[in-house]
Amino acid sequence: MYLNNLFKQNNWQLHPVKSQTFLTWINLLLIVLFFTPSAAQSQVSSNNSRTHEQGREIYNYRCYFCHGYSGDAKTLTSSYVSPAPRNFKQTKLSDLSRKKMLYVVTNGKPDTAMTAFSRVLNSNEISSVVDFIRTEFMQNKQSNSRYHTTENGWPNHQRYASAFPFATGKIALDSAWSKLSPKQMAGKRLYLTSCISCHDRAKVNNEGDIWKKQSISYPRNNYSHTKIDAVSSASIYAKHDISPNIKQLSNPAKYGKKIWLDNCAFCHAADGSGQNWIGSFLEPNPRDLRQATFMKNMTREKLRLRIKNGLKNTSMPAWKNVLSNEQIEQIISYISEAFHPIQ
């Protein structure tokens, strides 16, 4: 070993009996010093773990409803926004630098639904959530299974096990009921009434009208993390996913209503309030288009520009590459006739 050679090279002498014991102890000391983690190293490891968990906590609160708690963007949101949220599971570290991710999370990304989070997160928090995403999803391809925790409103998540095969895509949602076992049938019912809000539809064999997307943002079956109306026992968000009953709409507004429900209602709510479940997560919250104090100063031209180009520092994306000019005008007509008159 190193010390034996050192002594030979310098012709150092030790007591013939004690020398071997001395060298053995010194060599063991070097092994301890060089190969045993120091207190500082342990502290770094501990700090990294805390930072990683901080990133997980931020991701699970602010990012999951677009990018999915598994990082694969298989969410209901991805059915509505264009371009769709990024699938981190399919993104290589070499294809997306940490520097670019920090910039996008901080400043947002134009012409997308990706908003600037510098309004609600400091630089350390942004770094922690970016590093969490890069480690958990992009590098390790893990599924952030700790999302379903008691703290996040999911005590004893295992009780939903019968629905897991549908959430993971092992069983297609449109599988014939006659081909499912009693347990699988119970799992399918549970998935369709509760899990589908966040997991969307993981897998179907035949895309068709029955699977047409619906602008229902709140978790079905009133999961434990939703707020419940004490009188009706319904989710407080449910009423906002019902569009107003307008007896007479102009032809442009009729077309606009369909476009609104297919594209806008997921964030703004079917009733235009922005007070639905997803709207409650977004910061700032989507505008309440029924509010007179705000809408009295709104003109068709202002609204047209906001829909086309999006709104900086909000979750309002640009729709100019998704909707035609005619469709935007139809949406404006519907807003004017259903929520608040626009000059």
pLDDT at 14: 43
Residue 68, domain CATH? 1.10.760.10
Task: State whether the Cα torsion 175-82-283-241 is positive or negative.
Answer: negative
Same domain, 184 and 271: no
- The 10 Å Cβ neighbour count of residue 217 is 26
Structurally, the chain folds into a number of domains equal to 3
Question: What is the predicted pLDDT for the residue at 7?
Answer: 39
What's the pLDDT score for residue 17?
43
Q: Domain end: 85, 118, 147, which one? A: 147
Per-residue pLDDT of the chain (343 residues; tens, 9 = 90+): 444 444 344 444 444 444 454 445 555 444 444 455 555 555 555 668 889 989 988 887 788 778 887 898 877 677 767 788 999 999 999 999 999 999 999 998 887 778 888 878 899 999 999 999 999 999 998 877 666 777 666 778 888 899 999 888 899 888 888 999 999 999 988 887 777 766 666 678 876 655 554 444 444 444 444 555 554 445 677 788 888 988 899 999 999 999 998 888 888 989 999 888 777 767 778 889 999 999 999 999 999 999 998 887 777 888 888 889 999 999 999 999 999 999 8
**107 in any annotated domain:** yes
Q: Which of 174, 89, 175 is nearest to 137 (CA)?
A: 89
The closest of 132, 102, 105, 129 to 119, measured between CA atoms, is: 105
Do residues 113 and 179 share a domain?
no
Q: Do 95 and 184 share a domain, yes or no?
A: no
Which of helix, strand or coil describes residue 228? strand
Work out the number of other CB atoms within 10 angstroms of the CB of residue 60: 20
Does a structural domain hold residue 152?
no
Whether residue 232 lies inside any domain: the answer is: no
Residue 235, SS3 per DSSP:
strand
Instruction: With respect to residue 62, please indicate whether it lies within any of the assigned structural domains.
Output: yes
- Indicate if 192 and 280 belong to the same structural domain: no
Residue at 90 is within a domain: yes
Check residue 11 and give its pLDDT.
47
Give the pLDDT confidence score for residue 199 in this predicted structure.
66
Q: How many residues are given for the chain?
A: 343
Looking at residue 38, what DSSP letter applies? P
Do 123 and 178 lie in one domain? The reply is no
Q: What is the pLDDT of residue 42?
A: 52
Which of 17, 115, 9 shows the shortest CA–CA distance to 66?
A: 115
Q: Are 23 and 7 in contact (CB under 8 A)?
A: yes
- Identify whether 31 is part of a domain: no
Residues 171 and 129 in one domain: no
pTM value? Answer: 0.51
The pLDDT of residue 116: 84
Q: Is residue 288 located within the same domain as residue 334? A: yes
Q: For residue 234, give the nearest of 219, 216, 256 by alpha carbon.
A: 219
24 contacts: CB under 8 Å, gap ≥ 6 = none
Q: Please state, as a whole number, how many other Cβ atoms lie within 10 Å of the Cβ of residue 142.
A: 13
Q: Per the omega criterion (within 30 degrees of 0), is the bond before 252 cis?
A: no
Parent domain of 182: 167-198
Per-residue model confidence (pLDDT) at position 97: 95
